[in-house]
A = this chain, B = another copy of it.
Amino acid sequence: MRTGVWLVGARGSVATTSIVGALALRSGLTDPTGCVTELPELRGPALPAFSDLVLGGHDVVATPLAKRAETLAAAGVVPGRLVDALGTELAEVERELRLAPTVGTQADRAAATIAELTAFRERHGLARVVVVNVSATEPAAGPHPAHTDPVALRAALAGAEAVLPTSSLYAYAAVEAGCPYVDFTPSTGLRLPALRALADERGLPYAGHDGKTGETLVKSVLAPMFAMRHLAVRSWSGVNLLGGGDGATLADPAANAAKVASKQRVLGEILGYVPQGGTRIDYVEELGDHKSAWDLVTFAGFLGVGMRLEFTWHGCDSALAAPLVLDLARLTAAAHAAGDSGPLEDLAFFFKDPLGEPTHALGDQWHRLCAYTRRLHEGVSGAYPR
């Protein structure tokens, strides 16, 4: 069951780390630390093996993958010895990377993408190709009448004006090419009624949004702790300092706003009220891919006594995101193989801003993920194939 993974933003830090990691796992050069789907509770026959994954993708830049991997090695994001050992394999993936189409109408660009996806699938005899958006966060998109209706959308795309934000144009192409779709970023992606309708028409599953990799991950276990203990959170303030490509993008206030909003939603939904305070994202170039976040939580206990909890998170964003990208590709592929379609709400565990109306509490998301994956494995007949 060979499975394609098509990365949008394939030369970015997250994608490059995902690629190096997938190749290292395939070659037995690393263990699957960080890969949730390799935990005993989730492992099983429904998921494509790492050796069954075929990697390709689009990017707007052409920096060689090997060069990107070396840069990440120099920054301590991936081990240099892996980059050295995987030269041949990286060159193989390099041949599957393409420049993102930039000319013509949006309809033209979508058609070019659809053709690429189809060719990739056929060239490698893939059962399916999961498209995963790991490109830089884009500013929140303005509304457009064609966003709600598939027919109007197709017509509008042929016009000269750009109707869809880039992430959504990719989602559109993925759907039209019959590919399951994962949005790992807070960008709009498939979150437009017209695109959802198209995915439903074609019976495609999709997952998103915005990988939960750092401060929000910690929030999603600490906030339930306060709730379960009936402690009243008075304020929760956070600051995220990050460099790297994503940092620079988020220095743009418009993109920042999208991410900050998805971070704040978590608290309100878990606690049942929104405490004071907010979340900041600041760009500090020198931090590179290593993000530092500080959160201060003030809370009231019995008889109103004030207390506080602080935490600092020093995480490497790409190293946290990359294994989840592989997890999501495997799970979404298995969902597609099982005939599931529509929003994969059971994958909320992976996201800051999950589809549907699920809980944001990590423990509950975990139980739901386990139950769903168990169902996928049970649906697969025959012996455990790996």
> Do residues B280 and A280 form an inter-chain contact, with CB atoms below 8 A?
yes
| A294: contacting residue among B239, B285, B362, CB under 8 A | B239
Given A32-B230, A284-B276, A301-B319, A312 and B314 contact (CB-CB distance below 8 Å) = no
Q: Are A305 and B309 in contact (CB under 8 A)?
A: no
Contact present for B239 and A280 (CB under 8 Å) = yes
Task: Answer whether residue A34 sits at the interface, using C-beta atoms and an 8 A cutoff.
Answer: yes
Among B222, B284, B302, B313, point to the contact of A221 (Cβ < 8 A). Answer: B222
Could you say which residues of chain B place their CB within 8 Å of the CB of A130? none
Q: Is A231 an interface residue (CB 8 A)?
A: yes
**Interfacial residues, chain A to chain B (CB-CB below 8 A):** 17, 20-21, 24, 30, 32-36, 38-39, 76-79, 82, 217-218, 221-222, 224-225, 228-232, 234-235, 237, 239, 241, 276-278, 280, 282, 284-287, 292, 294, 296, 298, 300-305, 307-316, 319-320, 322-323, 349, 361-364, 366
**What is the predominant secondary structure among interface residues of chain A facing chain B?**
mixed
Known: A21-B303, A241-B296. 7 other contacts (CB 8 A): A82-B303, A221-B363, A237-B241, A239-B280, A303-B322, A310-B311, A362-B363
**Cross-chain pairs A/B with CB under 8 angstroms, 10 sampled:** A33-B231, A34-B231, A221-B222, A224-B362, A228-B362, A241-B277, A276-B285, A294-B312, A309-B311, A309-B312
Task: Enumerate chain B residues within 8 angstroms of A302, measured Cβ to Cβ.
Answer: 17, 21, 33-35, 319-320, 322-323
Across the two chains, which residue of chain B brings its CB closest to A24? B303
Copies in the complex: 4
Complex: how many Å from CA A25 to CA B362? 33
Which residues of B lie under 8 Å from residue A228 when comparing CB positions? 36, 39, 349, 362-363, 366
The answer to whether A311 touches B311, judged by C-beta atoms less than 8 angstroms apart, is: yes
Q: Which of A36, A349, A366 has the most CB of B within 10 A?
A: A366
Contact partners of A320 in chain B: CB under 8 A: 301-302, 307
